[in-house]
Structure 1
Amino acid sequence: MFIKLLKSKIHLATVTGKNLFYEGSLTLDKEIMEKANLKPFEAVWIYNLNNGKRFETYLLEGNKGEVVLNGAAARLGEIGDKIIIVSYAWVTEEEIRNFKTYLVYLTEKNEIKKIKLSSHNF
């Protein structure tokens, strides 16, 4: 049996840009992606705290501090909005013992404030 678990979470990222006429995606600071165990083109969910919208897209590596809504996603948020970025993984019961969730907390300037790894002891 597979269980869907939270793989990565970036808490309180601040949208720094919008690019409507782009192929689509979320451009995200490369260092933040690495610390959150996220890969380029990986699917993520975005939860916008300012307007309540939730949507799925994929990641592209960006420059320091960048959090840019691209393509249709640019219509789902504004510069300055606070968002949560998450990815999920389907994990077998055997894999759960060694599975870690990466939690990355950001400052107002999209700098890493804290990183936490959570184990799953079911």
Structure 2
Amino acid sequence: MFVNVLKSKLHRVKVTQAELNYVGSITIDEDLMDAAGLMENEQVHVVNNNNGERLITYVIKGERGSGIICLNGAAARRAQVGDIVIIIAYAMMTPDEARTFKPTVVFPDDNNRLVKE
């Protein structure tokens, strides 16, 4: 048996673009992808804190250091530029693996940049 467990999330990033006339997905700054351990084409859930919308899509690599968070295609109807979203990835693992697994949670600044510690 496997369970679906939180793998990683980008907590409270700001939508910088919404492109309706584009093949669907979410474009994410490559720095943010690396920090959260997200891969291009990986499935993610997107939760919009401003309007309660939730959607499932896949990741497209965005320009490194740009801070881009862009909902593409039909997903662009679920958010407006400036909305705050949480981007969540899950992983399948055995219950034994899940008990000890520690997810990666990234808290970018207000401009979708990684915070230096």
Q: How does 1:24-43 map to 2 (within 5 A)?
A: 24-43=24-43
1:79-122 deviation digits (Å, cap 9, x = unpaired): 0000000011111123235533110001110011279xxxxxxx
Q: Is the 8 A contact 1:104 1:114 kept in 2?
A: no
From 54, 60, 73, the equivalent of 1:71 is 73
Shift of 1:22: 0.5
Q: Is the 8 A contact 1:18 1:70 kept in 2?
A: yes
Matched, 1:94 2:114: no
- State the superposition RMSD in angstroms: 1.5
Q: Distance in 2 between matches of 1:114 and 1:3?
A: 33
TM-score of the superposed pair, with normalisation by structure 2? 0.92
Q: Distance in 1 between matches of 2:86 and 2:49?
A: 8
Runs of 4 or more off by more than 4 Å in structure 1? none
Highest RCO, 1 vs 2 (Cα 8 Å, sep ≥ 6): 2
More moved, 96-105 vs 4-13: 96-105
Paired-residue identity, %: 43
Gaps of 5+ in 2: none
More moved, 6-15 vs 88-97: 88-97
From 98, 103, 106, the equivalent of 2:105 is 103
TM-score of the superposed pair, with normalisation by structure 1? 0.88
From 108, 112, 115, the equivalent of 1:113 is 115
Q: Distance in 1 between matches of 2:9 and 2:71?
A: 17
